[in-house]
Every structure is written in structure tokens, then in C-alpha cells.
Structure 1
Amino acid sequence: MKRLLQRIINRDIQLFYLFNHKLKCRLLDLIMPQITHLGGVVFTCSLTILLVVFGQGRLKETGWQVLIALVSSGAVVQIIKTIVARSRPYKVLKEVNIINPPFCMRSFPSGHTTAIFSIAIVFGINFPSLSLVFRMIAGLVGVSRAYIGVHYPSDILTGALIGICFSNLAHGLI
């Protein structure tokens, strides 16, 4: 069991370096820090407030679903971050390309990825013709988290799964 866990950790680190080193280029150095903000508190909360306050009909209903998904998934992420207390890759690995280190020192799971998947899946359910676009944006935000050096792929995957679960629950409630 210990060997299996170590193999998983090693693969996680290898995938991290793939995103953080192998994909590195000037264009992505400009784009990825911007994309990553789509999962941040300012964008996700602003979008949600705008939808709830100013949205009409289906947009307002979608806003309420996003609010439920964001708050509930965000609470779960903070609990897990506190329990697991995994350090961010740039704190423990060598030669990490880091862009704008975050305030929070805990890595697992990715809150940005959780937030954007919470939004993307709710939007995809409510506007199925745009579902692929929303999912692609969410995926890019997830990749950006490893690219800028602040999350391992397992942090990102777990954040995405939490966002997906809470989005589906929120949609079922409203």
C-alpha cells in the first residue's frame, strides 16, 4: 500500500512538472495568470451576485444554483484544506515556475478549480448548447493552477470533482 501511494505521489509530481515546465512559453506566461482569476473569489462572487440581483428568469435561477454550489463546495474545500494541510508545490519542490504566489499556503484541493467547476457545470446544465465551452473554460482554469505553480494535478482533479458534485446537488435543489 505504501509503495502504491508513493507511485501515485510520484506521478502527481511528474504531471505537475509537465504543466509547469514542459508547457512553459511566453504566450502562456501572459494568458494563464489571467485565466486562473476566473476561478478566484472576485470573479466568481461578482458573477454570482450579478446573476442573483440583476438576472431575470432562467439567469436568476442559475445564479441561485451557482450561489448554493459555490458556498457549499467552498466550505467543504476549506475543511479539507485544514485537515489535509498539504503544502503548495512551489514550497516543497525544486525549480518550480511560480507566478503570483497565493496567500493561502494549503494546496489540497484547489479552491479556484472547485469554484469554476461549480459555476461551469451549473451553467452547462442550464444552457446545454454551451456546456462544452463552460467545461473547457473550467478545465483551462484547472490547468492554469499547475502552470502557475500553485497546485498539483491531484489538487485540481479533486477540486473539479467537488465542484461537479455540488453543482449537480445545487441544480437538483432549485
Structure 2
Amino acid sequence: MWHGLNGLELSLMNWLVSPIEGAFMDLLMSFFLFLARGSLVWILLTVFLFFDKRYRRTGYLTSAGLAIALLLSFVILKPILARTRPFLLLEGYSLIFPMPETYSFPSSQVTVAFAYVVMTWKSVKSLRIPVLTIASLVSLSKIYVYFNYFSDVVAGVFLGVFCGWFAVKLFEKYTVVRPELPER
């Protein structure tokens, strides 16, 4: 199912990565892969949201949204679609970061990242640019190290936006957690 698309995407990825690769980019991309692994950065941000009364409701939302995004992308879609990782098709490629043990499509880390962008966009305006920047750099890092194909990342973005939107709608409709009122 994936063979024709894999070759085309590897060419596109080589074209995107070759002008920017080097020691600094290896280090930078490894850092963003580390942040995204296990959804570490998103879980930490969610914990910090719980500490501030103004954003506690958003902390509950992001907790639920992360669960939805991981369930849909990692537990359901990856095993069904079973796409091989791009670096496995490259001869002599040396990894700069520990190898993922799951399938490639869709990128679950990108899904989670963009779900987080959508979930925090309206309620935590001060996080808009940092969260979008981290999500974008996580996406680039997945392509840079050939952990995901370009279409895996694009699918992750769209799936993440959907999961974030869905979590917000569910939360608005069914939540019992009301926004905190400002103290007088």
C-alpha cells in the first residue's frame, strides 16, 4: 500500500533536510525529539496549568485532549495502518536519537502537539507562540531524523487539530469544571 508513496516522500525529505543538516541541527532536533517523547513537554505544561487557578480548567481540558489524541493516533491508527519508518529504508543511515518501536503513520507526537495548540489557543493566550513553535519544531524534527514521512507529519497535524477541536467541544458540552471567578 505504501511503496510508491514511500519513495516519492523520501526524495522530498532528502530535498528538505539536506540543506539544513549538520551538527547544530542534529543537536536541536534531538532536543525537540526528547521533549516530544512520551509527550513529556505537553504533560509538564499541563501540570503547570493546574498550579495556576486561572488555567486549571485548561489543565483538565488538555489532560482529556491528550488522552483522546494518543488513543486515536497511537493506539488505534498506527497498528491498523502499519507504515514502516523511513529510516528503515535508508541504507547506511545512522540514527542520532533512539529508535522508535512503533509504526510511522500518523505521527502521534505531532498529533498530540497540534491538539495541544488547539486546546490552549483560546484560553492561554501567552502560550500561543511558544506552543505553536514547539509543535512546529517537533514536526520538523520527525522529518529531519527520518522517523516519519512528510505525509505522516501532515496527517498528524490535521488529526491533532481535529482531536484538539473535538476535546474542546466535548469539554464545553459535558464538563462540570467551571471557570474560576476572579477574586474580589
TM-score per shorter chain, which class?
0.7 to 0.9
Determine which structure has the larger helix proportion and give its number: 1
2: CA distance, partners of 1:60 / 1:142: 27
Residue 73 (structure 1) aligns with: 69
Pairwise CA distance, 1:152 = 0.8
Pairwise CA distance, 1:93 = 2.5
Pairwise CA distance, 1:46 = 2.9
Please list the CA deviations of residues 3-27 of structure 1 after superposition, one character each: whole Å capped at 9, or x if unmatched. Answer: xx93x44432222223443320221
1:18 aligns with 2:15: yes
State the TM-score, normalized to the length of structure 1.
0.83
Residue 94 (structure 1) aligns with: 91
Structure 1: unaligned runs, 5 residues or longer: none
CA RMSD of aligned residues (A): 2.3
1: CA distance, partners of 2:17 / 2:79: 25
Structure 2: unaligned runs, 5 residues or longer: 173-184
1:55 aligns with 2:52: yes
Aligned residues: 168
User: In the superposition, relative to structure 1, how do residues 113 and 97 fare at CA in structure 2: closer, same or farther (>3 Å)?
Assistant: farther
Equivalent position to 2:102, from 101, 105, 111: 105
Do 2:78 and 2:105's aligned partners in 1 also have CA atoms closer than 8 Å? yes
78-87 vs 16-25, greater mean Cα deviation: 16-25
138-147 vs 17-26, greater mean Cα deviation: 17-26
Please list the CA deviations of residues 130-172 of structure 1 after superposition, one character each: whole Å capped at 9, or x if unmatched. Answer: 5344323211110011112211111111111111111112222
- What is the aligned-residue identity percentage? 25
2: CA distance, partners of 1:28 / 1:147: 9
Question: Match of 1:143, as an amino acid?
Answer: L
Equivalent position to 1:34, from 24, 31, 47: 31
Please list the CA deviations of residues 26-58 of structure 1 after superposition, one character each: whole Å capped at 9, or x if unmatched. Answer: 211111110223322233223323423x2312x
33-42 vs 120-129, greater mean Cα deviation: 120-129
